Homo-oligomer: A and B are copies of this chain.
Amino acid sequence: MVGLSPGTLVHIGKKPPGKVRITVIDYDEAHVIEKEVKTVDECFPFKNTPTVTWINIDGVHQADIVEKIGKCFDIHPLLLEDIMNTEQRPKIEDFGNYLFIVLKMIYPDAKGKEIESEQVSLIIHSNYVITFQERTGDVFDPIRERIRNGKGRIRKMGPDYLAYALIDAIVDSYFVISEKFGEQIGDIDEELVTDPTTATLRGIHKLKRELLFLRRSVWPIREIINVLEKAENPLIKKTTGIYLRDVYDHTIQIMDTIEIFRETLSEMVDAYLSSINNRMNEIMKVLTVIATIFIPLTFIASIYGMNFSWMPEIEWPEGYHIVLLFMLALAVLMLIYFKRKKWI
């Protein structure tokens, strides 16, 4: 990006395999048309129809396609740059006759171990919504289903409701992720009790970083919804406001969960350190107790190992056994003392 003229289209981020896929859904209360188009030009006719049109582009790594859409739908060049730079922060920008929203869609990867994130950009116009995603596959299928079936309100409402439904789907996906986090925290907590290792600490730090990432994805959504709700923008109808408020509540709920998770993880670091310390202390204590018992015994033995010519006990017939018994008694007494002191 450094040194380039602003508005130059360069893809930033991981390049997914395969080529860009464009689908169009056009609907009103009476009908639905759904098709996958081969070239960008095929979706231009939908631009000025009175029906609601949802154009979805999977893949933002081909500058020519993004540029063509930008030109046709009259999108500011800097926004096209933002769409292709997949390291944006979630944000909203109001261009008067259309709104531009960037969001992060987060989902577990195929194996369910790692978290994958994808940038979703929305253009909300008075009669169409354009969504840009990085890869094929998203959390919008239930919405498509609702449009097809005509269930719920969606077919009766405008593009602002569609946009709400899309944002809502993304926010809902955070709940799934936050449950995953809950499970992983549970796993680590068990590890902490049974067998804490350095890997456990690394695991806690990894989760903390991922939560930080999640928080940075969720936090700006509050502001986005605030802008949507309050802006006296003709694009957003009053009736959609209460739905947006609902999404807002959800983001706050997720933020709360994240905060609890972060607090829990901080406590787990403490618990880890304390547990490592405890285990080490236990070991050292037992070992030291063993040494402490045998050192005085060895001293007694070494006394009778001295070669003085006159040592009366040496000559006693039962001297040896008396000493052995004395040693045994001493060891037992020490053990009892240590036991009573709760040292072992």
Residues of A within 8 A of B (CB): 1-8, 76, 78, 81-82, 87-89, 91, 93, 139, 141-142, 146, 151-154, 165, 168-169, 172-173, 175-176, 198, 201-202, 205, 208-209, 212, 216, 242-243, 245-246, 249, 252-253, 256, 260, 263-264, 267, 269-271, 273-278, 280-281, 283-285, 287-292, 294-299, 301-311, 313-320, 323-324, 341, 343
Q: Choose one: B3, B168, B249, B323; the contact of A88 (CB below 8 Å).
A: B249
Residues in chain B near residue A175, CB distance under 8 A:
1-2
Q: Choose one: B3, B260, B301; the contact of A303 (CB below 8 Å).
A: B301
Residues in chain B near residue A296, CB distance under 8 A:
290, 294
Q: Choose one: B168, B216, B269, B314; the contact of A307 (CB below 8 Å).
A: B314
Greatest chain B CB density within 10 A among A5, A276, A306 is at A306
Beyond A89-B252, A253-B87, whether A294 also contacts B299 by CB under 8 A is yes
Greatest chain B CB density within 10 A among A89, A139, A287, A316 is at A287
- 4 nearest A-B residue pairs (beta carbon): A3-B142, A5-B152, A304-B306, A301-B302
Beyond A287-B288, A288-B288, whether A302 also contacts B307 by CB under 8 A is no
Complex Cα gap A54–B183 (Å): 41
Residues in chain B near residue A307, CB distance under 8 A:
304-307, 311, 314
Residues in chain B near residue A205, CB distance under 8 A:
267, 270-271
Q: Which residue of B lies closest to A344 (CB)?
A: B283
Complex Cα gap A5–B76 (Å): 33
Residues in chain B near residue A7, CB distance under 8 A:
152-153
User: What are 22 sample pairs from A and B whose C-beta atoms fall under 8 A apart?
Assistant: A2-B176, A5-B151, A5-B152, A6-B243, A7-B152, A7-B153, A8-B152, A82-B246, A198-B275, A208-B263, A273-B274, A276-B278, A287-B291, A287-B292, A287-B343, A291-B295, A294-B295, A298-B299, A298-B302, A306-B307, A306-B320, A308-B320
Q: Which residue of B lies closest to A255 (CB)?
A: B89
Residues in chain B near residue A301, CB distance under 8 A:
299, 302-303, 305-306
Shortest distance from the beta carbon of A302 to any chain B beta carbon, whole Å? 4
Beyond A291-B292, A294-B295, A298-B299, whether A319 also contacts B308 by CB under 8 A is yes
Q: Choose one: B173, B201, B285; the contact of A274 (CB below 8 Å).
A: B201
Beyond A307-B314, A310-B317, whether A93 also contacts B245 by CB under 8 A is yes
Q: Which residue of B lies closest to A263 (CB)?
A: B212
B274 and A274: CB pair below 8 A?
Answer: no
Residues in chain B near residue A288, CB distance under 8 A:
283-284, 287-288
Q: Choose one: B154, B292, B308, B341; the contact of A290 (CB below 8 Å).
A: B292
Beyond A78-B242, A169-B3, A307-B305, whether A209 also contacts B278 by CB under 8 A is no
A253 and B89: CB pair below 8 A?
Answer: yes
